[in-house]
Chains A and B, each alone.
Chain A
Amino acid sequence: MTEQFRANTNENYFLKAEGLTMHFPAASDAFGRPTSWIHGADDVSFAVPKGKTLGVVGESGCGKSTVGKMLLNIYRPTGGRIFYEGRDITDLSPKERRPYVKKMQLVWQDPYSSLDPRLRAGDIIAEPIDNFRLAKNRAERAEKVERLMKMCGLYPEMALHYPHQFSGGQRQRICIARALATDPEFVVCDEAVSALDVSIQAQIINLLKDLQDELRLTYLFISHDLNIVHFISDEIIVMYLGQIVERGTMETVYRNRAHPYTRALFSATPAFTAAEKKNKQRILLEGDVPSPVDPPKGCRFRSRCPYADKRCGEEPQWSEVEENHFVKCHLFS
């Protein structure tokens, strides 16, 4: 089933990860040889079709950002492969990689620290245009910046302003405009709205959705807000301690949560309306997430799982609970 899980990642995929693994050295001996490893990500496999959004959820430290960074070549995976429209892009030379740097961009959490305070908004957005020589002359550059700003709901006059003159939501719009300057096809949104006020988050989510429709963008959408992930994603992966524990289309996973961790995670999200509150059955998990340094053998969720038994000392295999809905748990094998 593991093979099937890896292979059965949607034939008409656009971007595919196969067994992606990232181990960081945690401690080393006198000769600098690592003696223990942080399991940032282990055997992560998924595929995103073009123009769709793959949501990534899971608790702090479970490896969400690590997965995003491996896709963008910020981290060099210690195992596994990445395919972009069928081409293996895992080990490209810098020259071969260049077109993919253009096509794959990142929008991340902190709209405050990710903008250089000394640059004007227009120049920030134009940075990638200059790097990749995407404009023939100053007029074309200005025109591009203006188009990007309008597209992201900013007034072109604001091009001359400095970051501190913008609100948090506007700064995040600048980050998005900058990420779009190279006409990317794939964008990793890593907690892209988490730092924003509630009333501003919805604006940015709408913007991301509109841009996706307009430009046929494919997103990897990382967030700890399950309601937002549910709203924006077509497919979802649930991660725990470096591994995917459940994967499927957003609706099947939402309706038919299989893995005990997925169930607990969704049930822990505070209910919003009175109706939701009434139907809610909270599954409280004991204890904390164990350390990712040399994680426990067997099922990694074992120490907190209400259903854990003897079998769970062995690593569970993948099971397909329904079409295209996979879960890694002994309850289903």
Chain B
Amino acid sequence: MEEKNPLLQVVDLSVDFRLNRKTALHAVRNVSFDLYRGETLGIVGESGCGKSVTCMSILQLNPASRTRYPSGQILFEGRDLLHMKQKQLRPIRGNEIAMVFQEPMTAMNPLFTIGDQLMEALRVHNPRMEKAEAYERSLEAVRSVKIPNPERILKSYPFTLSGGMRQRVMIAMAMITRPKLLICDEPTTALDVTIQAQVLDLMNELKQTHGTSIIFITHDLGVISEMADRVLIMYGGRVCEEADVDELFTAPRHPYTQGLIDSHPSPDYEGERLKVIPGSVPTLRDMPAGCPFNNRCAYATDACRDVFPDFEEAAPSHVVACHNWRAAKTEGGKAE
């Protein structure tokens, strides 16, 4: 934690997808953030705002033939992952950086037992590992994610496990090589709340014992509030606000962040109707010029329709991209 240099630095990342000869989708625009050791960064935003694409870029997992990176660097311990050859990237993937996805079934091979898959992951990592040692390590990994009867689990096939079990096995699989960075893309969205609570609890414990840095993607503000140290709010492919988690919830500055927080019915909310953000999220094709939020924003001025706002510091280590953030007032949060 004493480390001064971030583990991961994403600098000015932009991602385009080519649809045909003439058109390209601007999926992500000028995204920058730092992630320190042992820190959890939450990324929140609505469907299609670019959360997954941003994280897939870290390991170059976007479809290579259609993806272009018009700008950006992704520095992992100083090495630029974005411009690395696949061959150089391979030893990093799954070892130093691991990923957990929303639907664990897609990441597991249905034809092999959990044990085979865990041992395989270990042996790719370290080809000289003895079979017996791989077995022991796998057993320990499954035990560490608090699955009862780990011997039996190693012998079972993925489809025989419940959703919560599978997600825990996925986490065991991702953690087995002690990665420095764990990227979790909506890891609990498909789970029931009591199972989600188990998984979140487990992730926090692993983070504490191993000092793993985590990027946690979700659209659930409650989950972010409990998991993240810092939060990145994205809208329309761009970052609109970044702050420490408590600061973000007590003093949100961006009108979109404020709208999100206000529209959430907290248990002590007394009103008859919920506060809403009017309109709907534009698709990437009809994203307005200037600030992408301008067609839904109560504070929009001419400047908002022309240029994307620069980042301004609203407080120490709290940045916001809005022309009018000083005028924006939240009702639910406690911005003064």
A199 near B249 (CB under 8 angstroms)? no
B276 near A273 (CB under 8 angstroms)? no
Known contacts: A59-B192, A224-B192, A288-B164. The answer to whether A206 contacts B273 by CB under 8 A is: yes
Cβ-closest chain A residue relative to B281: A197
List residues of chain B with CB within 8 A of the CB of A203. 276, 278
How would residues 194 to 206 of chain A score, 1 for a CB under 8 Å from any chain B CB and 0 otherwise? 0001111111011
Which of these binds chain B: A9-17, A122-130, A179-187, A262-270? A262-270
Q: Which residues of A in the span 250-305 have a Cβ within 8 Å of any Cβ on B?
A: 254, 264-265, 267-274, 276-277, 282, 284-285, 287-289
List residues of chain B with CB within 8 A of the CB of A79. none
Q: Which residues of B in the span 237-283 have a Cβ within 8 Å of any Cβ on A?
A: 246, 249-250, 259-260, 263-267, 269, 272-278, 280-281
Shortest distance between the CB of A282 and any CB in chain B (Å) = 6
- B5: interface (CB < 8 Å): no
Shortest distance between the CB of B165 and any CB in chain A (Å) = 7
- B160: interface (CB < 8 Å): no
**Most-contacted residue by chain A among B165, B193, B259, B264 (CB, 10 A):** B193
Q: How far is the CA of A203 from the CA of B296 in the complex (A)?
A: 13
Task: Choose among A200, A269, A272, A284 the residue that contacts B280 (Cβ–Cβ < 8 A).
Answer: A200
Known contacts: A227-B264, A288-B165. The answer to whether A270 contacts B194 by CB under 8 A is: no
How would residues 41 to 68 of chain A score, 1 for a CB under 8 Å from any chain B CB and 0 otherwise? 0000000000000000001100000000
Shortest distance between the CB of A165 and any CB in chain B (Å) = 11
B264 near A209 (CB under 8 angstroms)? no
List residues of chain B with CB within 8 A of the CB of A205. 265, 274
B276 near A268 (CB under 8 angstroms)? no
Shortest distance between the CB of A244 and any CB in chain B (Å) = 17
- B306: interface (CB < 8 Å): no
B162 near A231 (CB under 8 angstroms)? no
- B219: interface (CB < 8 Å): yes
A198 near B219 (CB under 8 angstroms)? yes
Q: How far is the CA of A227 from the CA of B223 in the complex (A)?
A: 13
Q: How far is the CA of A101 from the CA of B186 in the complex (A)?
A: 39
Known contacts: A197-B46, A230-B265, A231-B274. The answer to whether A272 contacts B165 by CB under 8 A is: no
Q: How far is the CA of A52 from the CA of B89 in the complex (A)?
A: 58
Which of these binds chain A: B33-41, B64-72, B98-106, B195-203? B195-203
- A249: interface (CB < 8 Å): no
List residues of chain A with CB within 8 A of the CB of B265. 202, 205, 227-228, 230-231
List residues of chain A with CB within 8 A of the CB of B194. 59, 264-265, 268, 285
Known contacts: A206-B274, A209-B273, A272-B249. The answer to whether A199 contacts B260 by CB under 8 A is: yes
List residues of chain B with CB within 8 A of the CB of A60. 163, 192
Cβ-closest chain B residue relative to A226: B193
- A167: interface (CB < 8 Å): yes
List residues of chain B with CB within 8 A of the CB of A272. 221-222, 225, 249, 264, 266
Q: How far is the CA of A288 from the CA of B281 in the complex (A)?
A: 36
List residues of chain B with CB within 8 A of the CB of A170. 280
Task: Choose among B47, B267, B276 the residue that contacts A202 (Cβ–Cβ < 8 A).
Answer: B276
Q: How far is the CA of A264 from the CA of B219 in the complex (A)?
A: 23
- A19: interface (CB < 8 Å): no
Q: How far is the CA of A40 from the CA of B276 in the complex (A)?
A: 36
- A156: interface (CB < 8 Å): no
Q: How far is the CA of A225 from the CA of B210 in the complex (A)?
A: 32
List residues of chain B with CB within 8 A of the CB of A80. none
- B77: interface (CB < 8 Å): no
Q: Which residues does B use to contact A, with CB under 8 Å?
A: 46-47, 148, 162-165, 192-198, 200-201, 219-223, 225-226, 246, 249-250, 259-260, 263-267, 269, 272-278, 280-281
Q: Which residues does A use to contact B, with CB under 8 Å?
A: 59-60, 167-170, 197-203, 205-206, 209-210, 224, 226-228, 230-231, 254, 264-265, 267-274, 276-277, 282, 284-285, 287-289
User: A-B pairs with the 7 shortest C-beta distances?
Assistant: A270-B222, A202-B263, A231-B265, A268-B197, A202-B274, A167-B280, A59-B192
Known interface pairs A202-B265, A274-B225, A289-B162; 9 further A-B residue pairs with C-beta atoms within 8 A, sorted by A's residue number:
A167-B280, A197-B219, A197-B280, A197-B281, A198-B219, A199-B276, A203-B278, A268-B194, A284-B201
